[in-house]
Structure 1
Amino acid sequence: MTAHRISLGRVLRFTLLSLGALIFLAPYIFMISTAGKAQSEIFSSSLSLIPEQWSYVENFTKALSRVSMTTLLLNGVIVCALIFTVQVLVAVPCAYAMAKLKFRAARFMMVLVMLGLLVPIHATALPLYVAFDRLAVLNSYTALVAPFSISVFGIFLFLQFFRAIPDDLIHAARLDGMSEAGIVARVVVPNAWPAITAFAIFSVVAHWNDLFWPLVVVTNQDYATPPLGLLYFRAAEAGDDYGALMAATLIITLPLIAAFLIAQKRFVEGITMTGLKG
């Protein structure tokens, strides 16, 4: 009876998880299907996931020829890498100070971090745009990277992870004569790779898919990021070429999927370990 209940519970869990996975994968499956269809088939009344006439080569050729896909992907890599690097360089020392150092302003800083999580980029877009315009840094990597150099989410994530690091480990490093900067670089960071990997996934996905801010500060196609490049497939008179658009979207999303699959184990470890100690 007990074995029957266990097997039934496993079947129910597997069914629910499979249904949830199907729901989340449905847009991507539809995107793959649309990338292989001709324009006439996309707008037909019948709905079929398998294309009647395979047009993958034609659509991917359009996607690669209409815009410089190499430039878009390179800009995405540069912007995401710069943002992530600066965010980690700022967030790790701040989180360590709040988690392991005793000072009066620690609680006040925690309040500021929590308040910072409530402020969206849209609220500061106008003053930032005016400032960058006066500094003549629009259409540059500086304008794309600078507003995101400090991540309050990153500080909060690392703070939760560093609280789980034993205080005895920090005290032992201090007894060995290491400075606080040395402790961060040689003790904390080597033990924080799961959290750093988890934060990398969040940061890269957020800024790789960001359309709002690049749309505000970039008008030069040489600095266009991947989501901004997708707008070049719009055609008001001839109609949007959805087949080529879906093919370009597949090319742009593949690096994210590959990065997540490679870092999946570390990502799960980082998310799990940040909740070990509140």
Structure 2
Amino acid sequence: MSAAPYSQGSAYSPGRLIRLAVLIAGAAIVLLPYAWMVSTSLKPQAEVFSSGLSLVPHDWAVVENYGKALTRIPMLRILINGVVVCAAIVLFQILFALPCAYAMAKLEFRGREVLFGLVLTGLLVPIHAISIPLYWAARESGLLNTLAVLIAPFTLSVFAIFLFRQFIKAMPDDLIAAARMDGLSELAIVWRVVLPNAWPAATAFAVFSIVAHWNDLYWPLIAISKTDLATPPLGLLFFRAAEVGDDYGALMAATVVITAPLVAMFLVAQRTFIEGITMTGLKG
């Protein structure tokens, strides 16, 4: 009789309400720039620079702004470039990282901990530090202004090795032993046993990787100079430089078009993404 009033009261306790208020305020602060971006994409140029701060436009310029965003540059081609580059990078990263992570997590060999220490050290090296030798190698091999130059430098990810290693260490050793007793080779264990059980970690890493490379401007700006080979951020830069200038309504419309696929991807994968993050690192 006394448990029900207690649980009902605890749901609306002052501490819980304060936490909810802080979370709502934090979410509003994070979402406000995106709401302003969408609002600006719907406004005509004159209203963008008006003194009012209304998110709802008085005059609508949806067709004009989004028409410019979709026609002034090859937007569909740019989005396809982003999908191809990100998908290829994720595929190669998982293909190379999963066997490495399995070896570091489940196999015993001399120097394993030293090798893992080098992987952790690799997390500290940004792409900016090695961009000059990468550019020289791409120029000498004739890969500049190709999609391959956007994919090749990122096919090996030390972060993927670290993430998968932490996830695989939490897998039961009996599962691996049973697979060996069934006659599977170590490589077969990786693809037929480890990978199906590591989908949450793979999904979490894929979200990280796709967001990072979809939004990457630094390396494409160095390696690509053709509009039809541009990735989304570089295409947005070409769009502003060549066609739009200070037309922020059209610029925000193009930004919305480029951002929307990432938002949709995360909404679809958010449950598996959260599961992969929370399950990774259960065992050190």
Superposition TM-score, scaled by structure 2 size: 0.94
**1:42 corresponds to which of 41, 48, 56:** 48
Deviations 1:81-121 (A, max 9, x none): 11000000011000000000000121111111111000000
Q: How does 1:63-102 map to 2 (within 5 A)?
A: 63-102=69-108
Provide the rounded CA distance (Å) in 2 between the counterparts of 1:77 and 1:143. Answer: 15
User: Is the counterpart of residue 123 in structure 1 residue 123 in structure 2?
Assistant: no
The letter of the residue matching 1:215 is L
**1:7 corresponds to which of 12, 16, 19:** 12
User: Is the counterpart of residue 152 in structure 1 residue 158 in structure 2?
Assistant: yes
Provide the rounded CA distance (Å) in 2 between the counterparts of 1:124 and 1:56. Answer: 43
Aligned to 1:33: 39
Equivalent residues of 2:66, 2:253 under 8 A apart = yes
Deviations 1:196-244 (A, max 9, x none): 0000100000000001100000001121001101012324897421111
Provide the rounded CA distance (Å) in 1 between the counterparts of 2:138 and 2:242. Answer: 31
User: Is the counterpart of residue 269 in structure 1 residue 275 in structure 2?
Assistant: yes
The letter of the residue matching 2:208 is F
Equivalent residues of 1:87, 1:150 under 8 A apart = yes
Structure 1: segments with no counterpart, 5+ residues: none
The letter of the residue matching 1:64 is L
CA 1:251/1:236 → structure 2, altered by over 3 Å: closer, same or farther? closer
Q: Which moved more, 1:144-153 or 1:228-237?
A: 228-237
Aligned-residue CA RMSD in angstroms? 1.5
Per-residue deviation, 1:6: 4.5
**1:197 corresponds to which of 190, 203, 207:** 203
Equivalent residues of 1:139, 1:218 under 8 A apart = yes
Equivalent residues of 1:208, 1:226 under 8 A apart = yes
Equivalent residues of 2:227, 2:238 under 8 A apart = no
Aligned to 1:61: 67
Local SS of the residue matching 2:128? helix
CA 1:158/1:235 → structure 2, altered by over 3 Å: closer, same or farther? closer
Provide the rounded CA distance (Å) in 1 between the counterparts of 2:60 and 2:243. Answer: 26
Per-residue deviation, 1:41: 1.2
Equivalent residues of 1:96, 1:162 under 8 A apart = yes
Deviations 1:29-77 (A, max 9, x none): 0001000111111112222211111111110001011111110000000
Equivalent residues of 1:233, 1:241 under 8 A apart = no
The letter of the residue matching 1:75 is N
Provide the rounded CA distance (Å) in 1 between the counterparts of 2:156 and 2:113. Answer: 19
CA 1:49/1:62 → structure 2, altered by over 3 Å: closer, same or farther? same
Aligned to 1:257: 263
CA 1:176/1:32 → structure 2, altered by over 3 Å: closer, same or farther? same
Per-residue deviation, 1:10: 2.6
Superposition TM-score, scaled by structure 1 size: 0.96
The letter of the residue matching 1:71 is R
**1:234 corresponds to which of 240, 253, 261:** 240
Equivalent residues of 2:85, 2:147 under 8 A apart = yes
Per-residue deviation, 1:5: 4.9
Local SS of the residue matching 2:12? helix
The letter of the residue matching 1:97 is A
Per-residue deviation, 1:264: 0.9
